[in-house]
Structure 1
Amino acid sequence: MTTQQELPDEVLSTMATEWRRKALAGDLHARGIAHELETELRRRAGAPLTNYDTLDLRPLEARTARRRRWWPFGRAR
């Protein structure tokens, strides 16, 4: 039997799609098989790198400016 590591990416992707379709149709064991195939695809592709700086849409000056504290220091209640 051919292992998942020996299959080309296209075949692995097709198999994962077919097994996921079976799982959505109600096959109880298909979900696990689809998950294994999809995991192998993700392992091969690697985790996508995220540039977290681009997620903040504020201007650079607003991101780096020090904000005033909203609580007063040293004042006892």
Structure 2
Amino acid sequence: MTAVPTPSQLAQIDDEQLAHLAMSWRTRAGYGDRDAFGVAHALEVERRRRLRQSQLQQLPAEPMAPRPWWKFWSTSPSGSSDGPMSTT
């Protein structure tokens, strides 16, 4: 692989092999191989894209209830906790 891989070629590589290839191409680029920079970059972009998708799947389905921005010290969404400026 001396040319920048296409998305279809990257899709055929599993995550573990992708991480290994990205590291080895980045090492080659670090030693001054000009052709390795583009390949290393493409591999790393694909690796980050896959990591981002897997992290998004782990997010909770329900968002937390919003609270007013000025009650940043509050721990409950209703704002009924005793914060540092509470007068009750």
Q: What 5-or-longer segments of structure 1 have no aligned partner? A: 50-58, 66-77
Q: TM-score, normalised by structure 2?
A: 0.51
| Percent of aligned positions that are identical | 40
The size of the alignment, in residue pairs, is 53
Aligned to 2:43: 37
Runs of 4+ in 1 over 3 A off after TM superposition: none
Letter in 2 for 1:60: W
Of structures 1 and 2, the larger Rg is shown by 1
Calculate the TM-score normalised by the size of structure 1. 0.58
Matched residue, 2:81? none
Provide structure 2 residue ranges, at least 5 long, that are not aligned to the other structure. 2-7, 57-71, 75-84
Q: Aligned residue for 1:12? A: 18
Q: Find the aligned partners of 1:31 and 1:21 in 2 and give their Cα distance.
A: 10
Give the 5 Å matches for 1:1-77: 3-46=9-52, 60=73
Cα deviation code 1:13-63 (max 9, x no counterpart): 0000000000000000101100000000111111768xxxxxxxxx727xx
